[in-house]
């Protein structure tokens, strides 16, 4: 025992203990008996019968005197305690059944009326304790001890409400709309060290889940914690009305907690433990009897548990506040003020000195301007003497053929649209016909590159569209017309936000489908992408990660995508097409390679103007010119958007082919370097948001 609790030695004695001799007290209680009124008090006693006189009794009465007919005096004792006084009900009490006031309770079983007290003794008046007749002056000492302070406080609250014009603060609004319940337990005979881990274990969990944890816990104090949780749950339900939401099924909501963990909430009115902490209590006293008369005093600690219960609505509101704050911070970083710099060279030179300085600097500036212009003209002539001409090679994929309907095309079941056919290189590469279609196609492409001129190459582009985003759901909900003129200009609606829109659960499933299709095609010996390029918008970053991560790829061709700024959706107006900061992208996807010159904030997004289709085509043409110039790989993967893929097909001479969300198609492109400057394209000016008709 001494090792468990700190103790101190009370006494050590060799004498025998003093013998305790009980004594009888000199005082005793006077027995109170009922009045002897001639009736029997015992349950088994019978009333005395009138006996008849006999001969012997008559002789006895003659010599010794007969029994007197006068009755013996009776001793009557009254109770010394004053009569019990009971209060009465007020006029508007719901239990006043016998009163003439209107009944405020429903028909049926009602609480039984209290029995009437014994009538007071004669000469005593019953006290009138009705609410209307109570003395307010004598009660004010307890109910209103400081009336002036109360009046000042009431005046202060009224002035504050008038100044705010009846508007509530955020804290007041939360306290009025959200429920919570605080329950503190009794003192447990345990220490902080033992009760603390249990408090941390149940904090943040649903009340039913926490009770289940405590029921199967091996800790001794877990039984007391379980009883307190049951009591706290009952108090929260009865007093605060918590956990009594609608029984109708609601759509589950997936939120992100402060710890980064994702949680799906099916019932917003369910109770969870928001906080749980341990309170230090008093120390008890116990004794440890040791050998040779030693007695050690122990100090066992006592602790209690406090739990703050809230509903899941609170957790949803806190998650929405965090998302709104993060969005506000991202928007605040769109423009950064330049730092203040010291003003230099503010000397006051005479007029002739200033004229000499200006006349000396002007010729130097003219010479430098001529030299720089010459270098710029030389550089322009060097860079514009050749460019890349892009064209689509048809006859290899179903999506190249005019007879293929984009609405019914399924890349999953059609082997990415690869047409089963023979090639002129099959006789040498696969004379026995044992190779797969993808192996023979890869060998055919390599043979084309080997036999072509140095200025010509063949590249296979895997064009993949991102999965479904929240902006796609909103456009279907409101319609394309309302989306373009109104909803796309907002950050979101009541169902969520779509700034740099993320993938929905359906979009994640579409990316996982693409991942499984790639696994199947890898078994069919599909050529691996040698380079990966991805749009900087979050939905494309996530789609590429889900699609390619985890595939059995060769070590020479790892999945290290390059984030390209120009591989974006149509720029401007729509908030879903504005990207996150460079820091946020690097933090969420650290394995991605961000191209050189990538700005910290989005330099292309304009909230008032929308990029035209021709301007988007020119932007994607410049992107392909850059990729094919600096990347010599044959098999290239591009994860982009519907608008970007449409422009890529346009500049490569491919037919119009709309891709569904999450779909992938390969396109074989012939790249030729020709002399002369890059042909100029007619670019339409940007447009503003259309005016809503309704």
Residue 7: enclosing H or E segment and its boundaries?
strand 7-12
Inter-residue contact 283 to 302 (CB < 8 Å): yes
CB neighbour class for 488 (10 Å; exposed up to 12, middle 13-18, buried from 19): buried
Q: CA dihedral defined by 232, 238, 242, 244, rounded to 10 degrees? A: 130
Three-state SS annotation for 152-213: HHHHHHHHHHHHCCCCCCHHHHHHHHCCEEEEECCCECCCHHHHHHHHHHHCCCEHHHHHHH
C-alpha 532/C-alpha 627 separation (Å) is 11
Helix and strand totals (H; E) in the chain:
18, 17
> What is the set of active-site residues?
466, 569
Six-digit token string for 59: 């002789």
Q: Is 300 helix (H, G, I), strand (E, B) or coil?
A: coil
Six-digit token string for 163: 């100044």
Three-state SS annotation for 343-367: CCCCCCCCHHHHHHHHHHHHHHHHH
C-alpha 560/C-alpha 592 separation (Å) is 6
Nearest to 276 by CA among 203, 219, 375: 203
Inter-residue contact 283 to 299 (CB < 8 Å): yes
C-alpha 329/C-alpha 323 separation (Å) is 10
Inter-residue contact 504 to 469 (CB < 8 Å): yes
C-alpha 116/C-alpha 217 separation (Å) is 52
Nearest to 579 by CA among 592, 590, 568, 593: 568
Q: Which long-range contacts (CB under 8 A, 24 or more apart) does 596-600 make?
A: 597/565, 598/536, 598/563, 598/565, 599/565, 600/333
């Amino acid at each position: 025992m001494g090792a468990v609790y700190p103790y101190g030695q009370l006494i050590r004695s060799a004498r025998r203990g003093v013998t305790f001799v009980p004594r009888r007290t000199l005082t005793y209680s006077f027995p109170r008996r009922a009045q002897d009124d001639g009736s029997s008090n015992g349950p088994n006693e019978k009333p005395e019968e009138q006996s008849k006189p006999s001969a012997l009794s008559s002789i006895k009465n003659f010599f010794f005197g007969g029994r007197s007919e006068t009755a013996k005096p009776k001793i009557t004792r009254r109770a010394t305690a004053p009569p019990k006084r009971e209060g009465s009900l007020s006029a508007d009490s719901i239990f006043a059944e016998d009163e003439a006031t209107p009944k405020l309770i429903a028909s049926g079983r009602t609480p039984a009326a209290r029995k009437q007290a014994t009538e007071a003794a004669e000469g005593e008046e019953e006290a009138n304790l009705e609410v209307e007749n109570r003395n307010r002056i004598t009660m004010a000492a307890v109910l209103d001890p400081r009336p002036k302070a109360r009046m000042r406080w009431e005046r202060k609250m009224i002035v504050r409400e008038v100044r705010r014009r009846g508007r509530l603060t955020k804290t007041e609004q939360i306290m009025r709309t959200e429920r919570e319940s605080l329950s503190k337990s009794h003192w447990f005979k345990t220490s902080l060290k033992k009760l603390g881990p249990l408090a941390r274990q149940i904090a943040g969990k649903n009340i039913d889940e926490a009770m289940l944890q405590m029921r199967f816990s091996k800790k001794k104090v877990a039984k007391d914690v379980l009883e307190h949780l049951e009591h706290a749950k009952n108090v929260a339900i009865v007093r605060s009305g918590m956990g009594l939401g609608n029984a109708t099924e609601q759509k589950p909501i997936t939120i992100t907690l402060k710890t980064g963990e994702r949680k799906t909430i099916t019932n917003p009115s369910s109770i969870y433990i928001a906080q749980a902490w341990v309170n230090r209590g008093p120390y008890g006293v116990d004794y440890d009897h040791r050998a040779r008369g030693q007695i050690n005093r122990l100090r066992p600690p006592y602790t209690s548990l406090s739990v703050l219960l809230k509903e899941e609505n609170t957790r949803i509101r806190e998650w929405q506040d965090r998302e709104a704050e993060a969005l506000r911070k991202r928007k605040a970083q769109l423009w950064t003020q330049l730092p203040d710099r010291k003003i230099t060279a503010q000397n006051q030179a005479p007029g002739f000195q200033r004229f000499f300085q200006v006349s000396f600097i002007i010729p130097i500036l003219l010479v430098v301007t001529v030299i720089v212009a010459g270098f710029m003209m030389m550089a322009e002539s060097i860079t514009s003497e050749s460019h890349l001409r892009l064209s689509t090679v048809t006859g290899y994929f179903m999506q190249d053929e005019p007879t293929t309907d984009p609405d019914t095309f399924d890349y999953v079941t059609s082997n990415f649209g690869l047409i089963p056919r023979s090639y002129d290189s099959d006789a040498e590469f696969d004379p026995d016909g044992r190779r797969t279609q993808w192996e023979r196609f890869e060998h055919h492409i390599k043979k084309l590159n080997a036999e072509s001129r140095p200025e010509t190459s063949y590249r296979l582009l895997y064009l993949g569209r991102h999965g479904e985003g929240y902006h796609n759901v909103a456009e279907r909900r409101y319609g394309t017309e309302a989306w373009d003129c109104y909803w796309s200009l907002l950050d979101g609606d009541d169902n969520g936000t779509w700034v740099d829109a993320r993938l929905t659960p359906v979009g994640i499933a579409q990316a996982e489908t693409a991942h499984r299709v790639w696994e199947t095609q890898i078994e069919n010996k599909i050529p691996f992408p040698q380079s990966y390029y991805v749009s900087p918008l979050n939905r494309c970053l996530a789609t590429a990660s889900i699609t390619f991560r985890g595939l059995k790829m060769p070590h020479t061709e790892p999945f290290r995508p390059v984030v390209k700024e120009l591989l974006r959706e149509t720029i401007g107006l729509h908030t879903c097409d504005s990207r996150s900061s460079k820091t946020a992208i690097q933090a969420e996807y650290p394995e991605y390679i961000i191209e050189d010159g990538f700005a910290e904030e989005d330099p292309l997004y304009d909230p008032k103007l929308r990029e035209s289709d021709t301007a988007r085509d020119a932007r994607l043409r410049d992107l392909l010119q850059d990729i094919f110039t600096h990347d010599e790989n044959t098999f290239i993967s591009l994860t982009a958007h519907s608008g970007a893929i449409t422009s890529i097909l346009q500049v490569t001479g491919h037919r119009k082919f709309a891709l569904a969300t999450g779909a992938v198609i390969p396109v074989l492109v012939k790249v030729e370097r020709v002399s002369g400057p890059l042909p100029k394209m007619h670019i339409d000016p940007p447009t503003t948001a259309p005016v809503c008709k309704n």
